[in-house]
Amino acid sequence: MIRYVKHHFIDKAKYDLCVKLDSSGLVYGFSWYLDTACETWDALVLNDYDAVWPLPVRSKFGIKYFYRPFGIQQLGIFSKIDVSDDYRNEFAKQMIANCKFADLYLNEDQLIGVESLAGVQTKINRNYVLNLGTSYREIYHGYNSNTRRAIKKASKQKLEIFEHDGPDVLIDIFKDTRGERLQLSEAFYANMSKLMYQALHKGVGKVWTVYGPGNIACGGAFFIETNTRSTLLFTALDDVGKEMRAMFHLLNEYIILNSENQLLLDFEGSNDEGVAHFYRSFGSKEKHYQQLKYNGLPLPLRWLKK
């Protein structure tokens, strides 16, 4: 039986155990992560937490809707048992029954058929992951020639990696170099900062900063390591770092350190071809995850969520 459970009635111990045992290893589903990323969230629960679907929820003009908060790439169904296609479709029907609008992103282990779901549209998105469970030599063999040249160039620079900066260093670099062009809201930066600090507090976050000549930070990355997955949550790079191939250097050093571990490096994207090409250049594999969009608003109100 699938039931809709409001946030304050969720048994978070049982809920988190289900997320932890899910084969995806995704961090986004844990209660601490959701509590940090969004104002509130409810969940669809199968039986005694055999499977769960967390649903970040908001309301506008009194209308409840489900959405994807900043800092969350994928959610969908997390389970400690095999979930059949019929159950996935039943989850989707229950989700629709509890809102008037939804714009959600499922995880790569699932695909929901929408033929029988009125008002639902889907889109396939790209993600890239690299298995670090083999030797560095084998992983390096999968790099393309441009990445190998970039790493060689970076090795000739005076680059140092520091692991004890706070996330604000990364956010400041990002704002200075990309903020004006991307025009992201302050809510985005606040959310990312909260998520990174909370991950550090939980002992699963890692800040890697690259320093160039003059001991000036020129780039960095934030990783979250949970279960068997390391998620590249946030990166920043200034013009100096770009010229010195600092991000190639940083990721290569991270791969060296973590090779031969049962860890999947999740690059967290991307549909953008330029970014996707960069991640593919490390020999990563393309994965797909589904966006599910439902609009059950009355016709006069559908413009509200276009």
Same domain? 294 vs 228: no
Here the tokens at position 68 are 């994807």
Residues 251 and 142 in one domain: yes
- Say if 60 falls within a structural domain: yes
The answer as to whether 277 is a domain residue is no
Strand pairing category for 205-212 and 216-226: antiparallel
Rounded-to-integer distance, Cα 66 and Cα 97, Å: 12
**pLDDT reported for residue 55:** 98
Do 172 and 193 reside in the same domain of the chain?
yes
Residue 256 shares a structural domain with residue 146: yes
* Residues 250 and 299 placed together within one structural domain of the fold: no
Name residues of the chain where pLDDT drops below 70: 109, 114-116, 299-306
Residues 119 and 144 in one domain: no
Q: Residues 137, 257: one domain?
A: yes
pLDDT at 296: 84
Which pLDDT belongs to residue 15?
A: 98
Give domain status of residue 280, yes or no. Answer: no
Largest CA distance in the chain: 62
Q: What pLDDT score was predicted for residue 138?
A: 97
For residue 39, the enclosing domain spans 2-125+289-305
Same domain, 108 and 85: yes
Residue 236 belongs to a domain: yes
pLDDT at 120: 87
pLDDT recorded at residue 181: 82
DSSP string, 115-161: TT-TTEEEEEEEEEEEE-SS-HHHHHHTS-HHHHHHHHHHHTS--EE
Same domain, 71 and 152: no
DSSP H helices in the chain: 12-21, 31-37, 85-97, 136-141, 145-155, 167-174, 180-182, 186-202, 239-243, 246-258, 273-280
pLDDT of residue 118: 77
**Domain co-membership, 230 together with 186:** yes
- pTM for this predicted structure: 0.92
Number of domains in the chain: 2
Residues 189, 191: Cα–Cα separation, whole Å: 5
Residue 243 lies in a domain: yes
Predicted pLDDT of residue 4: 98
Residues 88 and 172 placed together within one structural domain of the fold: no
Cβ atoms within 10 A of the Cβ of 272, count?
10
Asked, for residue 109, whether it belongs to a domain, the answer is yes
Kindly state the tokens that stand for 137. Answer: 């030599």
Assign residue 187 the CATH number of its domain: 3.40.630.30
Half-sphere exposure of 38 (CA within 13 A, CB side): 22
pLDDT at position 116, please?
67
94 CB-contact burial (10 Å; exposed 0-12 / middle 13-18 / buried 19+):
middle
Q: Give phi and psi for 112, each to the nearest 5.
A: -105, 125
The half-sphere exposure of 28 on its side-chain side, counting CA atoms within 13 A, is: 29
Confirm whether 145 is domain-assigned: yes
